[in-house]
Amino acid sequence: MIKALLKKDLYNLSTYKASLIIIILFCGIAIIGTNAINIAPAIICGIIGMISLSTFSYDEISKANRYILTLPTNRKELVREKYILVIGTTILGGILGMVLTIIVVNIMNYLRPENIINLDYQSLIIATIGGIFAISFLQSVQIPSIYKWGAEKGRIQMFILVLIIVAILVGIYVLINKANINIDIEMINNFINKFGIMLLIISTIIMYFISYKIAYKIYKNKEE
Amino acid sequence: MDNNIELQNVSKKYKDFELENISFNVPKGCIVGLIGENGAGKTTTIKSILNITRAEGTVKIFGKDSKENEKEIKEEIGVVLDDSFLSEYLTAKQVSSIMKDFYKNWDENKYINLLKEFNLPKDKLIKDFSSGMKMKLKIATAISHNPKLLILDEPTSGLDPVVRNEILDIFRKYIEEDETRSILLSTHITTDLEHISDYIVFIEKGKIVFNLPTDELLENYGIIKCSKDDFTKLDEKDYIAYKKGKYQYEVLTSDKNVIRNKYNITIIDKPSIEDIMLFYIKGEK
Amino acid sequence: MNIILSNSSGIPIFEQIEKAIKEAIFSNELREEDMLPSVRSLANELKISFLTVKRAYDGLEQAGFIKTIQGKGSFVAPKNLDLIKEEKLKEIQGYIEKIYDISKISNISEEEIKELFKMIFEEEI
């Protein structure tokens, strides 16, 4: 059943084919134009990840969920499918971004042998995972808010929510500073270098998981 | 088990509307029409049957509890909802590839044949279909897994008479194919029901007003047209409601033979279902 | 077989169906063991309720014109001459009642009617 739901969403998204190609071309040019090579995968993955959320709008326009609940499936599968779709497209976007960056950089190096760009694969991977982390944070807030308030309204509520969460984080930072707690910068740097990627991946998974639990709880009792 | 659907005391409370103790059956082999004004509770009733909305009371489908055996039951039901479908941005062909992953019994050949029969294009986006075509596609989608039960919410609203008749013929054919099948359809276009339904359930303000065989309504009910004097002679038990006019009284009775035998009244017209509905809603009692 | 239904005749639809099928049986258009259309298909064809047709079939079965075998369908019963005679007698009775009504209104005596009858029967011979 999840397969059927995924098919429906991917068919819906296939109407984006043309604009997606334009976006990717644009990103390719941007990589050449600026030297912000490491940011490119994050941007592409962000765009694709956010486009996948537009399937909520498609569902809303056709009141699709009401109909789908008359088929042999249930609310749990509906929510689960959305997370599989969103996480899948986001990861795919990250990989696509990395591949694209590598291709563009190699073409450039071939065309301009006098101006070789050295690609640091490790920082490219870290930047991509960092990008996925940032986007997963947005999505984890956005999906439950869409279930709560709808795809159109949800967008505004999401920005408010993100602002609140950022404000809380900044607040905590300020408090820590004020309390004059001595933080050994060196130690943190070492820690991130050692466990950074793992930490990002684990927090991404935890965020998605908590978000899924909340979204299901909201949707379980929603009127269709 | 002679009923495909059994509703017992189904109730649902909203802020501004309440569905109260709805009980009725959809017998095997029968077409049951659910009528009522917009907002009377038809859609809520259908949503409760399908477990889309959580209502109190019990709903049994094919003799099984609809909440406990939800997936199993839904494999055997075909549903058409007036304003809701998978997506408008799909082609009929893509619909089939999606539905075959939902239903174990999805019959792609049957679906393709239905598309041909209904003159529906396979590769055009649904959003470019006319409203009649959209409805035919929804019906083709609902019957291509050979369900035992069809549930349809307003399948003919907003369509022209020719298309409406074509659609009624599809339903007739569906039920003739296997006489243990049933159809439950809600509509506010009652003329459609006179020619297709076996029972009519009339809902008004969240309550059932009557649940009667269609032929009883059409054969036994009558509209008496009489003077004020004649009206005052009528026993209150012998009529359901009346409308007072300047020059005549119109009175709805559930048994015109009783009136003929008991009173000296000559004009008793045959009512349409719409007439009967209007007497219940607007008539005085 | 023709089944022509009128909504304005005042005769209930199920009676009209019964009558049409009986006539088809009398005229040998429907013969013994012939299968009748299924209740649902006749209802669909006539665009009326399944229950109306069922009522007509039940009536015909009770009167002995047809028999229904579960899961197979309804068939014309073996011709029962008594039944036909009874049916025809009923019909004749209806006409005689009309004659009676007319004679009452126009003051024609029983004797005169009997005379008329005798004349018609003798003419036959």
Q: Which range has the worst mean pLDDT, A72-86, B29-43, C25-39? A: C25-39
Are C13 and B175 within 8 A, CB to CB?
Answer: no
Q: Give the Cα separation of A116 and A108 in Å (integer).
A: 8
DSSP C7-54: SSSSS-HHHHHHHHHHHHHHTTSS-TTPBPPPHHHHHHHHTS-HHHHH
For chain C, what's the residue count? Answer: 125
Q: What is the pLDDT of residues B150-183, one digit of tens each?
A: 999 999 888 889 999 999 999 999 999 998 999 9
Chain A residues closer than 8 Å to B84 by CB: 62-64, 66-67
What's the pTM value of the predicted model, to 2 decimals? 0.83
Question: Of A46-60, B47-61, B84-98, which gets the smallest average pLDDT?
Answer: A46-60
CA atoms within 13 A of residue A218's CA, in its CB half-sphere: 17
Question: Nearest 5°: phi and psi at B212?
Answer: -140, 155
Neighbours of B156 (CB within 10 A): 25
Specify whether the CB–CB gap between A15 and A58 falls below 8 A: no
**Burial category of A90 from C-beta neighbours within 10 Å (exposed 0-12, middle 13-18, buried 19 and up):** buried
- How many whole angstroms separate alpha carbon C38 and alpha carbon B50? 31
**Cβ distance of C44 and B215 shorter than 8 Å:** no
The CA-atom distances, in angstroms, between A10 and each of A20, B89, C35, C52 are 13, 11, 54, 50
Among the partner residues B172, B196, B215, nearest to C51 by beta-carbon distance: B215
C43 within 8 A of C55, measured Cβ to Cβ: no
B190 touches chain C (CB under 8 A): no
Residue type, B238: D
Q: Do B47 and A224 touch (CB under 8 A)?
A: yes
* pLDDT higher than 70, residue B239: yes
Can you give the residue ranges of every domain in chain C?
A: 13-76, 81-124
> Which chain B positions have a beta carbon within 8 Å of C55's beta carbon?
215
pLDDT exceeds 90 at position A197: no
C-alpha B149/C-alpha B28 separation (Å) is 9
What is residue B270's predicted lDDT score, i.e. its pLDDT?
87
How far apart (Å, rounded) are the C-alpha atoms in residues A223 and A54?
21
C79 — pLDDT class (breaks 50, 70, 90): confident
- B176 to chain C, any CB pair closer than 8 A? The answer is yes
Average pLDDT, chain B: 91
CA distance B242 to B284: 5
CB-nearest partner of A62 from B51, B70, B84: B84
Asked whether the predicted pLDDT for residue A185 surpasses 60, the reply is no
What is the value of ipTM here, to two decimals? 0.90
- The highest-confidence range among A122-136, B105-119, B263-277, by mean pLDDT, is B105-119
Q: What percent of chain C has pLDDT over 90?
A: 18
Distance CA A215, CA A147 (A): 6
Percentages helix, strand, coil for chain B (3-state, rounded to 5) are 35, 30, 35
**pLDDT attached to residue A34:** 63
Contacts across the B-C interface (CB distance below 8 Å)? 39
User: For the packed helices A185-220 and A121-149, what is the interaxial angle rounded to 10 degrees?
Assistant: 30
How high is the pLDDT of residue B266?
A: 76
Which phi and psi (to 5°) does residue B58 adopt?
-115, 140
| pLDDT band at B142; cut points 50, 70, 90 | very high
What CA–CA distance (Å, rounded) separates B62 from B77? 10
- The predicted structure's pLDDT at residue C9: 75
DSSP state of A118: P
Strand partners, B200: B33, B212
- Say yes or no to pLDDT of B4 above 90: yes
Cα distances (angstroms) measured from residue B72 to each of A52, A208, B35:
31, 31, 28
Contacts with A146 (C-beta within 8 Å, 6 or more apart), sequence order? A53, A56, A154, A158
Look at residue A192 and tell me whether its pLDDT is greater than 70. no
Which CATH fold would you assign to the domain C13-76?
Answer: Arc Repressor Mutant, subunit A (1.10.10)
If you count DSSP H runs as helices and E runs as strands, how many of each does chain A have, helices first?
9, 0
Residue pair A97/A37 in contact by the 8 Å Cβ criterion: no
User: Residues in chain B whose beta carbon is closer than 8 A to a beta carbon of chain A?
Assistant: 47, 50-54, 70-72, 74-75, 77, 79, 81, 83-90, 94, 97-103, 151
Residue of B nearest to C14 (CA): B215
Q: What are the structural domain ranges in chain A?
A: 2-220
How many percent of chain A have pLDDT more than 70? 83
